[in-house]
Amino acid sequence: MTRRRNLRPLPVRPLIAVIVLWLALLPFPVFAVLVPDLVKSNNPIPKLTAETWLLMDFNTGWILAEKNSDKRIEPASLSKLMTAYVVFHEIRKGTLQLGDLAQISEKAWRTEGSRMFVKVNSKVSVEDLLMGLIVQSGNDAAVALAEHVAGSEEGFAALMNQHAHALNLGNTNFSNAAGLPDSDHYSSARDVSLIAAAIIREFPEFYDWYSTKDFTYNKIKQNNRNLLLWRDASVDGVKTGHTSTAGYCLVGSAKRDDMRLIATVTGTASAKQRAKEVHALLKHGFSSYESKRVFGEGSPTAQIKVFKGERDRLPLGSADAVYVVVPRGQTDSLKAHFEVPPFAVAPVTAGHALGLARIEYNSNPLMEVPLVALSEVPQGAWWKRAMDAVLLWFE
């Protein structure tokens, strides 16, 4: 059920405040925020051994559970999420193509740790290097991509940090592309979760690669180290990490129906343990919460009259899809109340904020969403403007 009432044009400062609140709750969040207490599930959170961990709903950015998620940690190969993210951006920009051949330097060839086993002085396609990076967690692939994109690993690390800043990652700094230990190389469970979310959101065509179970290069077949790809069909990513000092880390993501969750653990004792604990978080999230799309992207939710325009009616709605998360089985407790002005006067530009939708849960305020003009309304002919000027006297 919804209720609609008219309101006069909103003052500028309150409207800005509402928009700021709404941005924090966008379906593709810029940053992660704690789930509102109003809709927090009472189901017990699994007991984990991980040093830091986080469970996040992808559509809202709400953190459903966490421990020390902002603590700086050694991200190990979780760093390769950002390595791939930078490369994906370069491909999107057109400065790089999957078929481009990268020259393998001696530095890349000699890089210690996990490898895809490229040969020094050989030429390897960007596509193969990405597969070696994503599936095999190849440190040699990471260095080769970094040198091919930026000329040096140091220059590539600067690109990584530029993107980290753009994503508002407040506890992250990169000094290399592979995730090798360095005192100036760090992140957090929250930040690596946000990098994973950014890949899923911005590059769905490449995110599919994170569900690849094995990759063969140089006649050497290696399995994806994410054990959950074999244990749960809803899991489709995302990245493992390990060093002797970082322990075993994993960012995992799964989608069931319209709900996607991202779970991250760091500092566990084994590969089996990290998979077990991420899976426990994902199962907790899906059994405890339910995702509800309250507004579709650009879908009309209200209409108002328009004077002096080419048309007499104007549809209003949310510019983006808006989701909320509630305890499982409680979506019927969500209500939307619309507050819109009685009319608008042309010209009206598309995207102009003209009202509010107030979302309530069990009759308690949960969030506010600006309602914007979903199309433009140019001024009408002179006779239409003159006639409507008279009609406005009676409004």
- Residue 64 β-bridge partners: none
Contact call for residues 172 and 160 (beta carbons, < 8 A): no
Please give the distance of CA 121 from its chain centroid, rounded to a whole number. 37
Residue whose C-alpha is closest to residue 224's, from 99, 136, 326: 136
Classify strands 123-125 and 313-317 as parallel, antiparallel or unpaired. Answer: unpaired
Residue whose C-alpha is closest to residue 83's, from 183, 210, 178, 168: 178
For residues 188 and 267, give the distance between their C-alpha atoms in angstroms, rounded to a whole number: 11
For residues 27 and 58, give the distance between their C-alpha atoms in angstroms, rounded to a whole number: 8
For residues 353 and 333, give the distance between their C-alpha atoms in angstroms, rounded to a whole number: 27
Q: Catalytic residues, which ones?
A: 77, 80, 137
Contact call for residues 56 and 28 (beta carbons, < 8 A): no
For residues 19 and 335, give the distance between their C-alpha atoms in angstroms, rounded to a whole number: 20
